[in-house]
Chain A
């Protein structure tokens, strides 16, 4: 790749943040150089400081943060020394920012096209008469449907993926020299993500814009970036060209970042079902969300339920637990028919099926200590108390690889992964036979995810329990499942052992889902787009 002149040069940037009555370091001296037309990927776990650094590239620090030292030279001018007014002249025209949540960043009261052209119009980049046609041109190159009229809609009238592309058009409208993408596809489904990524990559290339692409997903950044910088604890781990970074990362930390994708489980499957769900219908009010859903969980095995949001995965879990009584069909557990309603189930039936939630934050009462949270099922189901209770809690803490020092901590004093571990311990405390895991790793960083998945596998080996694992992440499925159920729009599309579902021929939706999962190959996106084009030509 030929590099242009240097556009952005950050030297020894240090940023402090203020929280809980003290200053602490967020960015501890990072250098960054970006040339014209270059795309740099910034990756790291949450708390690594990648967003803070990305914003600092605009000379901006969030409220509660301060730039301690360092220089941020944009075309030779030091943003760190500039007044806010001077910086405002650059923002939105020369430097643009694309936020993670497009839905939260648009003003719901204005039409999309007004918001798209606002910054460029205000700066007088082009004649007002031309700005509309320019926006439509951008919509077109971002492959938005009905590009001539989509701008007349309001933000709530388009889908999340489309909104994210409109936001890219907005950033692109003044033809900035630098765009900062802050996790722009994290909130999207995999199948939508592909289109958005392709559109973004295409337009950045076309206008030869420099970009900083912030994400925690290495496979995504591999498609976008020319080079990748890995951050951890506010420090740079390493930086290299994308291909080199993928094939031969130098630091062990970088290698561990994608090890979850290498995790794979031996398949194990038989006919002794602990749970069998038989042609269930369910609805929220008048809308039917499940249509004749059937699935079986073999004893001691893991069944993964995959599908995008709105496909009915979580609703199935709610029906199994009895939170949402089904309209028709039956749920059998250990060969015994479960009452439809939660209230009608016996304590023993409740005890045998436990649930772990996606957001560990909201799954734990913030006012209860770890000991209380884990101890309650022990008290409630097993009638433990006093020293026996305490011993058992500590044993459970050790089982989830934590120790007794966590006993009297509150949830807010724990990291995301630790919280999820506590939730696992709470489920284990009840001594269940089946655990329903609802997207338990999707809110976590790669390394932490791997730790949690390994823990679940270990527990399954030791205690022989069964898992119903709801997820949208194919890498996770590969790592832990024995059988797979694919759901789409409230129906089961395909069910079978992992090896069978993962090997062709696939039903149409499974094919789309599998091909949308980003791979650690910089040519993957190009390949997917090509093969889709070909199949469309054949089909059309």
Chain B
């Protein structure tokens, strides 16, 4: 009886249509709120500036001009700093240095924290215990103070800055990766892979990682902001990126004294606020994107 009207191929599947990845991306982008669009535009602008810095900047990064503390003019759009470098040009180069450094650090933090987190989640034995407790110890010490201490031990070169911040931030990545991965590890398809005899590498890369990408990408955005702020803070304290390399954190510090002149000339006094604003704007923009992305992937719907 049933053979007449039953065939496996004709069964109606889920309501999901067959759409390519690009179509799906376009659908979700076109429904993105204005805040997310604002975020995209700002981040895109920063990337353009960072990549094309030498072409956009009117002057060199550490080119010194005769007049220090020059007022804004057609020659120096934002004036010059305490030793006569063009602030506008340094702001543009600063994008490249600060963002580049933060990006490398965050990627490194994700490689370390992500791999160890996955290993811990899959093994769930003594290895998990050792790694998790080690991470707890690292997290128990306030990050900024710990970073200051380590930087004074290893010296503040760009590489030690990257290495130290990456290790410290990888602890947070480890915790997140481990906690989302343990939910995937118990799925039947991971069990099926284990039963097949698959090695650790395959299970990590092919079975688990693709299924925890969404929270990791969101975390990447947030982590990037934190690293970015840490670098700026360390530079402000004088142990981060070293002069003459331009960087927003140290630019705030170098011109900080100008703020005292606010009662005489408000515009000039705002000079140290410009790199600070650049930091704030990027942080806000990235957060807008992450918010939207999390909302998308968590499956929440506005009713």
- A residues with a Cβ closer than 8 A to B are 17, 19-22, 24, 47, 63-64, 233, 252-253, 255-256, 259, 321, 323, 342, 345, 347, 350, 354-355, 357, 359, 362-368, 376-377, 380-381, 400-403, 405-406, 409, 412-415, 417-418, 421, 426, 430, 447-448, 450-451
* Residue B300 at the chain A interface, CB threshold 8 Å: no
CA distance A409 to B20 in the complex (A): 11
User: In the complex, which residues of chain B have a beta carbon less than 8 angstroms from the beta carbon of A364?
Assistant: 189
Task: Check A323 against B8 for contact (C-beta < 8 Å).
Answer: no
CA distance A131 to B17 in the complex (A): 51
User: In the complex, which residues of chain B have a beta carbon less than 8 angstroms from the beta carbon of A366?
Assistant: 211
Task: Pick the 3 closest A-B CB pairs, nearest first.
Answer: A256-B2, A367-B210, A363-B188
Q: Which of B11, B13, B187, B195 contacts A362 (CB 8 A)?
A: B187
10 A-B pairs within 8 Å (CB atoms) are namely A20-B17, A252-B4, A323-B191, A350-B196, A364-B189, A367-B210, A401-B8, A405-B9, A418-B13, A421-B8
Closest to A419 in B: B13
User: In the complex, which residues of chain A have a beta carbon less than 8 angstroms from the beta carbon of B207?
Assistant: 365
Shortest beta-carbon distance, B148 to chain A, in Å? 42
Q: How many residues of B contact A (CB 8 A)?
A: 33
Task: Check B2 against A409 for contact (C-beta < 8 Å).
Answer: no
Task: Check B1 against A415 for contact (C-beta < 8 Å).
Answer: no
B178-221 near A? 1/0 per residue, CB < 8 Å: 00000000011101101111100000001100110000000000
B136-152 near A? 1/0 per residue, CB < 8 Å: 00000000000000000
Task: Check A450 against B2 for contact (C-beta < 8 Å).
Answer: yes
Q: Which of B6, B13, B187 contacts A414 (CB 8 A)?
A: B13
User: In the complex, which residues of chain A have a beta carbon less than 8 angstroms from the beta carbon of B194?
Assistant: 323, 342
Decide yes or no: A255 and B1 within 8 Å by CB, A19-B15, A401-B9 being known contacts: yes
CA distance A20 to B191 in the complex (A): 30
**B275-303 interface (Cβ within 8 A of A):** 301, 303
CA distance A270 to B105 in the complex (A): 66
- B residues with a Cβ closer than 8 A to A are 1-2, 4-9, 11-18, 27, 187-189, 191-192, 194-198, 206-207, 210-211, 301, 303
User: In the complex, which residues of chain B have a beta carbon less than 8 angstroms from the beta carbon of A402?
Assistant: 8-9
CA distance A345 to B195 in the complex (A): 10
CA distance A456 to B2 in the complex (A): 17
Task: Check A415 against B12 for contact (C-beta < 8 Å).
Answer: yes
CA distance A256 to B196 in the complex (A): 37
CA distance A205 to B161 in the complex (A): 78
Closest to B191 in A: A323
Decide yes or no: A415 and B195 within 8 Å by CB, A252-B1, A367-B210, A367-B211 being known contacts: no
Task: Check A447 against B196 for contact (C-beta < 8 Å).
Answer: no
User: In the complex, which residues of chain A have a beta carbon less than 8 angstroms from the beta carbon of B303?
Assistant: 63-64
User: In the complex, which residues of chain B have a beta carbon less than 8 angstroms from the beta carbon of A400?
Assistant: 8
Closest to B8 in A: A401
Task: Check B7 against A401 for contact (C-beta < 8 Å).
Answer: yes
Q: Which of B14, B195, B301 contacts A321 (CB 8 A)?
A: B195
User: In the complex, which residues of chain A have a beta carbon less than 8 angstroms from the beta carbon of B197?
Assistant: 345, 347, 350, 380
User: In the complex, which residues of chain B have a beta carbon less than 8 angstroms from the beta carbon of A357?
Assistant: 188, 192
CA distance A421 to B7 in the complex (A): 12
Task: Check B189 against A259 for contact (C-beta < 8 Å).
Answer: no
| A-B pairs under 8 A by CB, number | 103
CA distance A361 to B227 in the complex (A): 39
User: In the complex, which residues of chain B have a beta carbon less than 8 angstroms from the beta carbon of A417?
Assistant: 8, 11
CA distance A233 to B5 in the complex (A): 14
Task: Check A47 against B18 for contact (C-beta < 8 Å).
Answer: no
Shortest beta-carbon distance, A21 to chain B, in Å? 6
Task: Check B16 against A20 for contact (C-beta < 8 Å).
Answer: yes
Q: Which of A359, A406, A412 contacts B14 (CB 8 A)?
A: A412
Closest to A416 in B: B11
Closest to A17 in B: B15
Other contacts beyond A259-B1, A362-B187, A426-B192: 7, CB < 8 A: A253-B5, A259-B2, A355-B195, A362-B189, A365-B211, A401-B7, A415-B11
Closest to A255 in B: B1
User: In the complex, which residues of chain B have a beta carbon less than 8 angstroms from the beta carbon of A19?
Assistant: 15-16
Closest to A418 in B: B11
Closest to A252 in B: B1
Q: Which of A22, A256, A381, A405 contacts B6 (CB 8 A)?
A: A256
User: In the complex, which residues of chain A have a beta carbon less than 8 angstroms from the beta carbon of B195?
Assistant: 321, 323, 342, 350, 354-355
Closest to A24 in B: B15
Shortest beta-carbon distance, B233 to chain A, in Å? 38
Closest to B13 in A: A415
Decide yes or no: A363 and B189 within 8 Å by CB, A259-B1, A418-B13 being known contacts: yes
CA distance A173 to B191 in the complex (A): 46
Shortest beta-carbon distance, B126 to chain A, in Å? 15
Shortest beta-carbon distance, A28 to chain B, in Å? 14
CA distance A8 to B295 in the complex (A): 41
Shortest beta-carbon distance, B215 to chain A, in Å? 14
Shortest beta-carbon distance, B199 to chain A, in Å? 10
User: In the complex, which residues of chain B have a beta carbon less than 8 angstroms from the beta carbon of A64?
Assistant: 301, 303
User: In the complex, which residues of chain B have a beta carbon less than 8 angstroms from the beta carbon of A47?
Assistant: 12
Task: Check A412 against B1 for contact (C-beta < 8 Å).
Answer: no
Closest to A353 in B: B195
CA distance A522 to B7 in the complex (A): 31
Shortest beta-carbon distance, A358 to chain B, in Å? 8
User: In the complex, which residues of chain B have a beta carbon less than 8 angstroms from the beta carbon of A450?
Assistant: 2, 6
Task: Check A365 against B13 for contact (C-beta < 8 Å).
Answer: no
Closest to A420 in B: B8
User: In the complex, which residues of chain B have a beta carbon less than 8 angstroms from the beta carbon of A413?
Assistant: 13-14, 16, 18
User: In the complex, which residues of chain B have a beta carbon less than 8 angstroms from the beta carbon of A255?
Assistant: 1
User: In the complex, which residues of chain A have a beta carbon less than 8 angstroms from the beta carbon of B210?
Assistant: 365, 367-368
Shortest beta-carbon distance, A294 to chain B, in Å? 23
Q: Which of B1, B191, B196 is packed against the most chain A CB atoms within 10 Å?
A: B196
User: In the complex, which residues of chain A have a beta carbon less than 8 angstroms from the beta carbon of B15?
Assistant: 17, 19-20, 24
CA distance A106 to B126 in the complex (A): 39
CA distance A367 to B4 in the complex (A): 34
Shortest beta-carbon distance, B1 to chain A, in Å? 5
User: In the complex, which residues of chain A have a beta carbon less than 8 angstroms from the beta carbon of B16?
Assistant: 19-20, 412-413
Decide yes or no: A376 and B188 within 8 Å by CB, A256-B5, A413-B16 being known contacts: no
